[in-house]
Amino acid sequence: MLVATQSIAAGGKSQQAQFEQYLGDPNDSQVALSYAKILEADEAGVITKEAEECLDKWHLNHYFVPQELGGKLSRFDTMVEVLRPVFRRDFTLGLGYGVTSFIAAVNVWLSGNQEQKQHLADILLNNEKVSVVFHELNHGNDFIHNELKAIPTANGFRLSGKKQVINNIERARAFVLFAQTSEKAGSRSHSLFLIDKKDLSPESYRYLPRYKTLGVKGCQIAGIEFQDTFANQESLLGKAGSGVENALKAFQITRCILPAMSVGVADTALRTVLKFATKRKLYNRSVADIPHARWTLVNAFLDLLIIDCLSGSMTRALHVIPEQMSVYSALMKYFVPLTIEQMLNDLSIILGARFYLREGEFGIFQKLLRDYPVVSFGHAGTAICQATIIPQLKFLARKGWSKPLEKREHLREIYQFEGNLAPFQPEKLKLTNNGKDDILGSLRSLLANASYPITDELRSFIVFFNSQLDNLIEEVDLLERNTGNNLCEPKAFDLVEKYAIIFAAASCINTYLENPHHSEPFFQSGKWLNAALQRLAQKLSPNMVVESTELEEELLYQMCERLDNGYSFTLAGSPLAG
């Protein structure tokens, strides 16, 4: 689908910087995307015209459309870089303006024919919106039991039924629909459709009332009901009956992209609280001088670096090892939102009573807190992601986790910030990993590979995480024996949690080792890596406690410097507009 020429990621960084400048300082109440206006819109439950026009003018929608169809999408890591400035400012807008359209569009890019792709591309390039019409309140993430029917007729399909909690349904020009096309039970009973509302008879469907929501209050979330609505034959995406498989493959992309974009939310949360902590005086000093507050701030920074390692590598892994993304995308969707939610909670403690206020200088924080949970259940709940992984655990344990990965060349492509990247090949996405796990396999072979400059401290972490992986293999084995092949019991969720932590550690290590020429001294020093690994190790074993006030000092200094000089808290430390 994506353009066949190789491109350079540095493009993403500079485009992000330009976009930041274009959007302006969010603390300046005059700009369209200022915190003041964002909070005002949130209270009113709207997304303002001003904000959307601002993004339209920048042609943000073009980033959702592959290059060969006239858009600007060629690599997923770049796309994430470009969208983060929106998420830094307003999650509601990010979702309501565009990402919903992208989630819908991915299904078309994956399974549509040329005509359908071009039609959708034209809609998006014209700044129109597309909706994802999947969700039925009575079935949640249980697709196979979705009830909305598309009954095949002589020249098309007859739609009947309801879909609920659908973002932008009323104002979207088109939508991607998931519907039951066959009465036969099983995974071949549903299909996907791309439907342009212009092709529907307006009397044959109606919108259901808008929902009031806790967060993303500005998003226009409502429902739609079809009553013998006729959809033509051309609206079918892919083969009839391939809906479940194709939707699951599309999820592998969005489960990486959405959490990766949402790192922008974490950045704003940390920035807001750091600002508070350096300004606010308690007990005759600034809050940032209180050890517990420093510790919380530094941990939040480390968490942000960790999930940034995951975001960068997994959005590139989509290009490099698409056949392994069923597990990796689920890990992303599980680990990143969970980490950010926990971070928001920890940071709220520093903010004290201010976090509870919907007004004033720090009022943006409670909005982040309300908006963010959408990422967790938005289009696939955390539990469901875990359920994707659990059935694969025993195969991973036997294959991917047990065999050291010999060839590492392709890892470089996954981890290098500024390298070339193979074009994305959607046909290579698979519904299971078949036991493959190159990332943890690479953790197995690291110490045998002499070409990496591994310090003693890093070596001891690598040994530690390898031994944790040994334990995990044993635990999977034990569970398998105790449950008679069916791993699905409560304990299995603890194993997924461990897996995710070791996976995150391996991702951080690889990110560091595969970017030896990165010029940033902070990155180069590798101190952040040791601290991040320490943080992850503690989640596995409470006895892994080494406190270094010196390191804490350095990290905090780094954060304050970035705050003062206007750089993001991500690995790249991108310039911000404020």
Residues that bind other proteins (CB under 8 A): 43, 135, 137-142, 144-145, 165, 211-215, 280-284, 290-292, 294-296, 341, 345, 348-349, 352-353, 355-359, 366, 369-370, 373-374, 376-377, 381-383, 386-387, 488-493, 541-542, 545, 547, 549
Closest distance of CB 490 from other proteins, Å = 4
Q: Which is nearer to other proteins, 494 or 561 (CB)?
A: 494
- Which C-beta is closer to other proteins: that of 173 or that of 294? 294
Q: Nearer to other proteins by C-beta: 381 or 575?
A: 381
Name the minimum Å distance from CB 42 to other proteins: 11
CB of 399 to other proteins, least distance (A): 24
In one-letter notation, the amino acid at residue 131 is: S
Nearer to other proteins among residue 490 and residue 521 (C-beta): 490
First to last CA, the chain: 36
**At 393, which amino acid appears?**
L
Q: How far is the CB of 542 from other proteins (least distance, A)?
A: 5
Query: Minimum CB separation from other proteins for residue 265, in Å?
Result: 16
Based on CB atoms, which residue is closest to other proteins, 78 or 167? 167
Computed from CA positions of residues 180, 183, 186, 187, in that sequence, does the dihedral angle turn out positive or negative? negative
Helix axes 263-279, 76-89, angle to 10 degrees: 40
How far apart are CB 38 and other proteins at their closest, in Å? 15
Report in angstroms how near the CB of residue 405 gets to other proteins at its nearest: 30
Q: Give how far Cα 275 sits from Cα of 279, 377, 389, Å.
A: 6, 30, 39
Q: Which residues neighbour 48 within 8 Å (Cβ) at sequence distance 6 or greater?
A: 32, 37, 41
Whether the Cβ atoms of residue 346 and residue 221 lie closer than 8 Å to each other: no
* DSSP β-ladder status, 156-167 and 149-152: antiparallel
Nearer to other proteins, 274 or 374 (CB): 374
CA distance 36 to 39: 5
Beta bridge partners of 192: 178, 237
Angle at 310 between CA 22 and CA 330, to 5 degrees: 110
* d(C-alpha 479, C-alpha 115), whole Å: 49
Nearer to other proteins, 39 or 505 (CB): 39
- Between 152 and 373, whose beta carbon lies closer to other proteins? 373
Residues 472 and 502 sit within 8 Å (Cβ to Cβ): yes
Contact 464, 544 (CB under 8 A): yes
Length of the chain: 578
Distance in Å, CB of 350 to other proteins, minimum: 8
Nearest approach, Cβ of residue 508 and other proteins (Å): 21
Nearer of residues 304 and 317 to other proteins, judged by Cβ: 304
Tokens of 231: 């959809």
Backbone angles phi, psi at 149, to 5 degrees: -105, 145
Q: Pick the closer one to other proteins by CB: 356 or 525.
A: 356
DSSP string, 363-412: THHHHHHHHTHHHHHSSS-HHHHHHHHGGGHHHHHHTTTTSPP---HHHH
> Shortest distance, CB of residue 510 to other proteins, whole angstroms?
27
